[in-house]
Amino acid sequence: MAIYAIADLHLDTSDKKPMHVFGQTWRDHAEKIAHHWRQRVHDDDVVLIPGDISWAMKLEEAAPDLAWIGRLPGQKILIRGNHDYWWGGIQRVRQALPPHMYALQNDSLVVNEVCFAGTRGWTLPHHPSYVREQDEAILKREILRLELSLKTAIKHGKPIVCLMHYPPVDPEHGPSAFHELLVSYGVRGCVYGHLHGPAHRFAFNGVIDGVHYQLVSSDYLQFAPWCLPDDWLDG
């Protein structure tokens, strides 16, 4: 089993929100993703999708996008992104997913001796856009959700890989509460998305306190799923 990751699919099979309005690199991006995905991923592999999956506003509107993912190879593990407005009650979401797809929320999932956990995350307090009155409650809730997920994960006694949508670290501003949780629960690595275009320069790809981090937003990866290195699970 290989483990791949790709975030920010930003699917819209209705073609009401074409992504090339954000730049020519996004033109026909879904076709690029599908092409690379089928070249790399096999049915017994796992693909992590850390949020911003579909532009749909309602669950029923997201069904064609979820079906599109479902037709691609591999087992898919999803978390919610900030643009996944269609993602409501977790039980309804899970019931709507095609086979071999699982939505994480406050829990974890073991596949072939690896445990997957995670949450959406939120803007970190040092970010210029962070407004305490608006963001503090959401940030605290996401920290709690990550800990709930990791508490279930650690019980399995397997290597833990975490999915987050927002970047959980910014080395220039010191550790975050998310990072501290990942360290305290012995997480091996974390994949995240959310950063696009010029914002790629704010990504951190590397190791801090034993935790591996990697940005996997689709445009950063040139729309090709990224394979987790073996050393993420060693040790």
Q: Judge contact between 90 and 80, C-beta under 8 A.
A: no
Domains of the chain, earliest start first: 3-232 (3.60.21.10)
Tell me, what's the pLDDT at 234? 82
pLDDT at 22 over 70: no
pTM for this model (two decimals): 0.95
pLDDT digits (tens, 9 = 90+) for 156-200: 999 999 999 999 998 787 789 999 999 999 999 999 999 999 989
- Of the pLDDT bands very low, low, confident and very high (cuts 50, 70, 90), residue 21 is very low
Share of the chain above pLDDT 70, in %: 95
What is the rounded average pLDDT of the residues 91-111? 97
